[in-house]
Amino acid sequence: MPKISDALWELAAAEVRAREREVSEGLAEPRADPSAVCERTLFFMGSKAGGKTTIVLRCLDRDETPKSTLALEYTFGRRARGHNTPKDIAHFWELGGGTSLSDLIQIPITVQNVGALSVVLVLDLSKPSVLFGTAERLLQVTRAKVDQVFSDLQRTGESKSGKPPAPNRAPRILHKDHPDRELINPFPVPLLIIGSKFDIFQDFDSEKKKVISKTLRFLAHYYGASLIFTSTKSENLMAKTRGLVTHLAFGMERGKTVSVDPSKPLIIPTGMDSFSQIGSPPITDVDIGTLHARNPLDLWKKVFERVFPPESTSDLKELKDPAKDPQYSEAQIDSMRAQKDQVCKETRVCLSQIKG
């Protein structure tokens, strides 16, 4: 009869072999030197008033009252990997204003941190009419900036560590035998999509929930992202959300829970879905062939927007200047600013008359 100690060693050896196999196939990163401090950066973006700040605070175990994000905000967290080990550092950047301040995306993404950068896209499930447009715009701008930084690194061969990071970490997220490996368009850095306000979403009409759920499953799988639906009113869902965020921030185990039931909160880690399981876009009132989509992503967008017509973006354009956003109003400062603007206007008039 084998000793218990022998069985434990066999289990440990099997785990090491499995880990080495994952690293060789690109499904996991080599373990860092336990004595070295690891720094990672998380960039939160998404729907305006979608709950990003609340999620960040909960993931950092901070009992603070969340405030509206003023354009772009920064905080950080520390966590030790074990006893007598230095604490790893996670830098948290959060973009406010939905898509109206997307120009600020270039600030937190740099040559120094892009090799350890992850993006968290928070989408408000209770506002589907702006959901797809928000995701599309923010992912486009972020991808362009990340690609530009990677291009700069490849050209100069410089980075914080003295070695350029891998030009793309995400394409290896699917197992080599996964049927969709050549069909997806992975985001250039790890991506987590969070559907917030599930407590409101769960009361939607079942068909509308099906459209939103399947569309977000497609987006997540297409971009090689993890997907989770959550609510700040559910401790269970927030615990699972924290698990995925801390996996990106501190390299913690991400958990093995998978839920694809449309009547329940979706929880689908990277690589755990497939196009065959997701199925075709849910539409019955029109022939898909008549939508004239350029590609699968465009097809899903057209179907989604037939069910949830997008809202006008005119309001967002008007609020491009944060100084004009009413959520940042300050009576005394605004009054002084108005006086100065008036003085400048009168000065310009006088100068034009003199030149005339």
Q: Comparing 20-24, 36-40, 109-113, 144-148, which segment has the lowest mean pLDDT? A: 20-24
Which residue type occupies 190?
Answer: P
- pLDDT score at 35: 63
Average pLDDT over residues 171-182: 80
Q: How confident is the model at residue 318 (pLDDT cuts 50, 70, 90)?
A: very low
Q: Comparing 114-128, 157-171, 250-264, which segment has the lowest mean pLDDT? A: 157-171
Query: What is the rounded distance in angstroms from the CA atom of residue 131 to the CA atom of residue 57?
Result: 23
Q: Which two tokens stand for residue 208?
A: 């509308």
Question: Does residue 210 sit in helix, strand or coil?
Answer: helix
| b/e per residue 4-16 (b: at least 16 CB within 10 A) | eeeeeeeeeeeee
Helices then strands, counting H and E runs in the chain, come out as: 10, 7
pLDDT digits (tens, 9 = 90+) for 153-174: 888 865 445 554 444 444 456 8
Query: What is the rounded distance in angstroms from the CA atom of residue 69 to the CA atom of residue 66?
Result: 9
- pLDDT score at 118: 97
Q: What angle do CA 226, 198, 42 make, to 5 degrees?
A: 40
- pLDDT score at 57: 95
Which residue type occupies 67?
Answer: K
Query: What is the rounded distance in angstroms from the CA atom of residue 335 to the CA atom of residue 315?
Result: 23
Q: Which DSSP symbol is given to 251?
A: -
Radius of gyration of the chain (CA): 23
N residues, the chain: 356
